[in-house]
Structure 1
């Protein structure tokens, strides 16, 4: 099992660009396989990856994720091919649906038929990255437009990798099956190892629909990790970001992270947390979060406890574990990267 490092949402970490670069270079020095950047309504992860491409040499660079509604599929393909050229074939294109709160509130688009849109989107991205003339007709996308002045075009720049890996960030059963069918990797967020193992069946079902296996498929969950002798302190350090996901990452009707917590058996407290968070009572939302919920959706505690949890991810079939670190300072984050690498290396 390889390690990845998540820069998370650049603007929320409280670190300067130079400090983020220091962390990525340290992850590269420690042997981390990949570094990933996310997208909400702040910094652009593709720009970050292009910037890091010229300042690193070995570590793979990925978007986790680019929001599909935010850019047309051929634009995503151009971005991916460009960054892959800049970094010498180290890029991974991670894509995601986002949710109605952001898609409708920020991009001004309807959150409609996301699975159908994702299928069409990935098909066009693959066609463009293969430098084939793009001609596609699906339920949600037709290129070129019929009865128009449009013409078939092919991508004018060639990515180093053929094929360039495409990942999907999905949570629900049908979306996970689609990931197994059309993607090269899976980016679930805050999944406990037991749930990752259970979802492999859905990935396999999707792969079977496409007449393939999961050989070479990258199961790459993203999880917050903290090595800390004081377990109660570790839980408390995890609560703010977890409360944001379960309480504020979505609307009252559509919060996929909250729905995941419910599927894991925490429906009542997830509902209580969301009510408090959306009412502006973030402290109450964090207080409503049980240690058991934090334990399920993160990895934290003394080294032996973290080692046991990382081993469980490996046994669940995880091939890349992407870790997010939560301490507020550069020094403490550097220390966490080192300690996590040491524990993972001892498995």
Structure 2
């Protein structure tokens, strides 16, 4: 049975209390896990620590922590601490993000993202094992670190996010799971092939890894209004967050649409950018509409073979009422 998770919003929440209360609501509604992205809002570590304190059973996860703004040793310490704080409910998601974020926001060169992600995963696992960390890689050379406290009884699983063939192959080869996003059901199948190929290269069973598909979701009695909220969100990412989302869409056979959205968005014509993303494609990338429409579409995504969990995320402009309504309507 496909699990159902929630991705907490990173924007439009007036206070930290509002964000953490959504984690409590997700637990009350029966969601399996609460993920927190870390972009330009509140930091993921502090927020997840508070969520661990305020919840009892729901899983918690970081999706994603980028592999540039913290050292891999520090991320390992963080993962061990959050696993302790949550009594074994934590799962860490890692990924390189992209140049627009890493160079512009963090002032770090976006260098060797795949190699860096692989080494992060390997170092993090050594840190949480409690063993002395000695590592001689292409990006990191470390020695002498060991956790002073005992290691977690259950090491937190380490997932990797990725959109391109090589990054997804890397997740299959080295990580405990893969986070998929900006993929249609058909496009997902190509990436699942990459994921399974990576598992074969790592002499691993792909069934032992968790595939999590992230979906932007919004429910409104006015279905068209719900679709416009999601359309604006998708176009922001395709057009405004570098070229990764544009290229991911183009790889799936939507090159003209991807470039029309990207070009119009960067020319400042938001209306034309949104007009280029039709309802059919929107429905293949997201869940939006009336309550009945949204439940039906989510069930179709849940039926995709090879997907272990779906994550209900929210448009960046969604208000508190819309987020809570969507969470309640789509709850398991």
* TM-score w.r.t. length of structure 2: 0.93
2:319 matches 1:315: no
Find out whether 1:338 has 2:328 as its counterpart. yes
Aligned to 1:149: none
Q: Residues 145-160 of structure 1 correspond to what in structure 2 (within 5 A)? A: 152-160=144-152
RMSD: 1.9
How far, CA to CA, are the matches of 1:91 and 1:141 in structure 2? 25
Structure 1: how far apart are the matches of 2:22 and 2:100? 31
**Is the 1:166–1:184 Cα contact (8 Å) retained in structure 2?**
yes
Work out whether 1:267 is the aligned partner of 2:259. no
TM-score, normalization by structure 1: 0.89
In the TM superposition, residue 226 of structure 1 has moved relative to its aligned partner by 2.4
Tell me if structure 2 keeps the 8 A contact 1:221–1:320: yes
Question: Is residue 216 of structure 2 the alignment partner of residue 224 of structure 1?
Answer: yes
- Deviation track 1:104-153 (CA, whole Å, cap 9, x = no partner) reads 22222221211111111111111111111111111211113xxxxxxx22
Moved over 6 A (4+): none
Gaps of 5+ in 1: 145-151
Contact 2:83–2:90 (CA under 8 A) maintained in structure 1: yes
How many angstroms apart in 2 are the aligned matches of 1:321 and 1:143?
A: 36
Partner of 1:77: 76
Tell me, yes or no, if the aligned pair for 1:226 and 1:336 is still in contact at 8 Å: yes
Aligned to 2:118: 119
Contact 1:85 1:159 in 2 (8 A): no
> Who is 2:245 aligned against?
257
The question of whether the paired residues in 2 share the 8 Å contact of 1:73 and 1:125 is answered with: yes
Counterpart of 2:160 in structure 1 is: 168
Checking the alignment, whether the CA contact within 8 Å between 1:223 and 1:298 is kept in structure 2 is yes
- Structure 1 segment 85-164 matched on structure 2, within 5 A: 85-144=84-143, 152-164=144-156
Query: What per-residue deviation string (whole Å, max 9, x for no partner) do you get for residues 66-101 of structure 1?
Result: 011111100000011111111111111111101112
Aligned mate of 1:198, from 190, 204, 211: 190
Equivalent residues of 1:272, 1:288 under 8 A apart: yes
Give the one of 207, 214, 219 matched to 2:206. Answer: 214
